[in-house]
Amino acid sequence: MDKRMGAESFMGVGGGTVSEESARNLRIAEDLCRKRKPKQALPYLFKAMEDPNNLDAIVQMAFLMPTMNEGVQLLEEGAARGRAHLIRVFGPDCFEDDRAGSRVGQFWGLLETRPYMRVLQAIVRLAFEIKDYQKSANTIIEMLRLCPGDNLGQRFWLGSVLLQAGRTADALSFAQAWLHLPRHVDWPPRGGCAFEPPSKTPLSARFAEENKYAPCSILYTAALASYKLWGDCEIARQYLSVSAKTNPHILVRILARVEQPKTLNNLPRSPNGPEEAHDYLWLTQNLWMAPDVWEWANNDAGAKAHILKTCAREGCNTREVRAAEFKRCGGCKEVVYCGAACQKEDWQAHKKSCKEHQRHKEFVKAMMAGRPMPRSDGGDGPIVASADFTPNGITTTFH
């Protein structure tokens, strides 16, 4: 959550615990880093770090360290500093469960705690990058203990990180805690990290309908963890089918053997859209590409029924027989065609919705980046159909 918006934007970073001068130097440094000018940012970061309470300056500096290991070390020093500061502010029991002075469960809601939570979030990211999955997982678990409502969205990572750490039963327990949450409850105990023994009981007939908007990362965690624990069982197939229906982009890329993303996706996103699929695969795709896992998913007819596409040209009705066999429209990336002839013939019918979709995405991108709305090129020719599974452009085209 951007500290330049919301309560911290007018009450000060950390509720005013960071001096305005230090916060100003950090804003300059962050803006320079966004412009890919890290060397120019360093003097401002050093000035910002003169205020011992400016943990966000430590976060920014950690990502500029020569190695990620050094970045993690710096962040851990920042976390220790932040913990000591919060104990001074709230008392010695503020981190303890079930104590009179405890603030557990209130973190993030208290502005003074937010810089500390952002340090923990940065540890999660860099620890994962250096493949210290246990540290990454344990840091998220601590964040969810302190803030079970998960204001920083770490529940979308934890299942994947636990699987990478080999903690399969914990991953499934965590996923089930969120997926089978009673309707009147906002979040599970300890943010899903109580880690009860996972259930092998098949899902109810209502599960798919009740969870059609569930986060794809948690659903796919449940599917993969169930298979790794119990093999090709009913509940694993059920979770996989609901996962494929909720976000087919993930299973399509797995079964098409698309290369695992090398970076996270920073584009605007909608729930369970392709951008969220990209980030989930950055975290977890290598686990899905294990031969036994891939064969299991590829042989599941129920799950594959949700990802095989039909040609978009009216009257064609040709259906894929394997994942990503057809090519998507290179403009909107929302429809697929069995061949160049169908795409060309359908262009006049598809053109209006295609252009509207492109304009909408460009508008959102421009708004997020603070840029003027791009003008349309006004072209009338069909956008070349492409597989376009990479962040930067076309991978396969019709000629």
DSSP conformation letters of 244-305: HHH-HHHHHHHHTTPPPPSS---S---TTSHHHHHHHHHHHHHHHTSHHHHHHHHT-HHHHT
Chain mean position to CA 285:
13
- Please name which of 100, 101, 55, 61 lies closest in space to residue 79, comparing C-alpha atoms: 55
Q: What is residue 371's predicted lDDT score, i.e. its pLDDT?
A: 65
Phi first, then psi, for residue 310 (nearest 5°) are -110, 140
Q: Are 228 and 168 in contact (CB under 8 A)?
A: yes
Longest dimension (CA), the chain: 72
Q: What residues does 310 pair with on adjacent strands?
A: 319
Three-state SS for 368? helix
Which of 71, 78, 72, 86 lies closest to 49 in space, CA to CA?
78
Quote the Cα angle for 151-67-79, to 5°: 40
What's the token pair of residue 192?
A: 């899903």
Q: How far is CA 186 from CA 110, 157, 189, 394, in A?
A: 19, 19, 10, 41
First to last CA, the chain: 44
| Residue pair 116/55 in contact by the 8 Å Cβ criterion | yes
pLDDT, one tens digit for every residue, the chain (399 residues) = 567 778 888 888 888 899 999 999 999 999 999 899 999 999 999 999 999 999 999 999 999 999 999 999 999 999 999 999 999 999 999 999 999 999 999 999 999 999 999 999 999 999 999 999 999 999 999 999 999 999 999 999 999 999 999 999 999 999 999 999 998 899 999 999 999 999 999 999 899 888 988 999 999 999 999 999 999 999 999 999 999 999 999 999 999 999 999 999 877 778 899 999 999 999 999 999 999 999 999 999 999 999 888 888 888 888 887 887 788 888 887 788 988 889 888 898 898 889 888 887 777 776 655 566 565 554 455 544 444 333 333 233 332
User: What is this structure's pTM?
Assistant: 0.86
